[in-house]
Amino acid sequence: MTAELGVGVIGVGQMGTWHVDAWERIDTARVVAVADPRETAARACIRRRPIDWHVDWQELVERPDVDAVTIAAPTGQHAEIALAALAAGKHVLVEKPIAAALEDGLRMAAAARPSGRKLMVGHVERFNPAVAKVAELVREGRLGRIFRIQATRVGPLPARIADVGVAIDLATHDLDVMQYVLGRNISRVFAEGTRFTHPSHEDMLACLLRFGDDGPFGLLDVNWITPEKRRELSVIGESGMLVASYLTQDVWLMEADGARTGWEELARLRGDAESAAVRFALRKVEPLRAELEAFASCILENRPEPVSAYDGCRALIAALAVRDSAASSRPVELLGMPTAPEDARVRAA
């Protein structure tokens, strides 16, 4: 393999077009071909660039000049395409969610290992500097014991997502981020939700989560019924609260210990104490570009994928539990999360 990766992008609707544009800014890779059955989508994506178009993705994965593919076709097709690409010897970056069905995600994870190829899941928020900062601060113990984590991911109904609802399409982002930030798996979920305006799937969910047996609590608010897009993450611990905006990539820390308010009337409005707050100076980056760079590096330097198929399955399991809980109005226990074989070795050591 040369130092420059030949890349094929499969599915060039909204996300796939962003992939093609982001790949263009990465020195170690070059998009040689895209595949999409819709000619208008392919032409709009390629524009005047020297990129080939295939109607059939199978032709793309057979090309000898393609080292890696990124899959941004509808979620229900991820597994079939990823399994064929791995079998053809290609490295695979599959958009989140890894699949719509857990069996598909697990089959993909199992196929990647013997293939000797990388299989990474595009949980793009992992590459958001605000998420990385929150995870770092939590890991360093800046908040002390963690009490609660909360995520909000709401906005208007997108016209194009037809095959899955908000549990699989939106909640997978935050269920992955929350488990990553806390370094703990979700053990229990209780959700309420319904379908208000989506033609076939749930478009509103309100979820309570628990991490581990006695770990932090979680709150997750996801929907496609809000007129304005909001994407926020907050973590409360014994030493304070972190608040991050996924969109502006700002992270604030509010310390728990504050000065008592000496003015009684003001205390009615602002509470009995006021704490210090800091906004961190973060180098903002485009998360998708950072994700693709990390994918290219893990191939070229033969390092583990920064977001593995097992991570993708853990997020999917939690999302399926959220959906099932909302459908039955009952709590769902998550008895065991899949772990990559190397995770098991680390724990046993």
Ligand X SMILES: NC(=O)c1ccc[n+]([C@@H]2O[C@H](COP(=O)([O-])OP(=O)(O)OC[C@H]3O[C@@H](n4cnc5c(N)ncnc54)[C@H](O)[C@@H]3O)[C@@H](O)[C@H]2O)c1
Per-residue HEC secondary structure of 134-162 comes to: HHHHHHCCCCCCEEEEEEEEEEECCCCCC
Q: Choose, by CB under 6 A, the member of 9, 12, 204, 307 that binds ligand X.
A: 12
Is residue 231 within 8 Å of residue 241, measured between CB atoms?
A: no
Per DSSP, the three-state class of 181 is: helix
Is 73 or 189 the residue whose CB approaches ligand X more closely?
73
Helix (H/G/I), strand (E/B), else coil: 113: helix
Question: Cα–Cα distance between 5 and 171 in angstroms, integer?
Answer: 32
73 binds ligand X (CB under 6 A): yes
Question: Minimum distance from CB of 80 to ligand X (Å)?
Answer: 8
Contact stretch for ligand X (CB under 6 A) within 5-13, 239-247, 264-272, 277-285: 5-13
List the one residue from 13, 89, 258, 306 that touches ligand X (CB under 6 A): 13
List 169, 174, 221, 311, residue binding ligand X (CB under 6 A): 169
Of the candidates 28, 21, 64, the one whose C-alpha atom is nearest the C-alpha of residue 300 is 28
- CA separation for the pair 300, 292 (Å, rounded): 12
DSSP reduced 3-state for 89: coil
Stretch that binds ligand X, among 32-40, 103-111, 140-148, 199-207 (CB under 6 A): 32-40
Cα 257 from chain centre: 33
> Least distance (Å) from ligand X to the CB of residue 99?
9
CB of 342 to ligand X, least distance (A): 25
240 contributes a contact to ligand X by CB under 6 A: no
CA 263 to chain centre: 45
Contact region with ligand X (CB under 6 A), list: 74-82, 185-193, 238-246, 321-329: 74-82
Dist. CA 284–CA 77, nearest whole Å: 33
Q: In the chain, how long is the greatest CA-to-CA distance?
A: 74
Q: Does 347 interact with ligand X (rule: CB under 6 A)?
A: no
Q: How far apart are CA 73 and CA 83, in angstroms?
A: 14
Of positions 31, 85, 95, 296, contacts ligand X by CB under 6 A: 95
Question: Which residues inside 106-165 make contact with ligand X, applying CB under 6 A?
Answer: 122, 124, 160
Nearer residue to ligand X within complex by CB, 11 or 129: 11
What does the per-residue mask of binding to ligand X show for 38-67, with x meaning CB under 6 A? x--x---------------x----------
Binding site for ligand X (CB under 6 A): 10-16, 35-38, 41, 57, 72-75, 77, 95-96, 122, 124, 160, 169
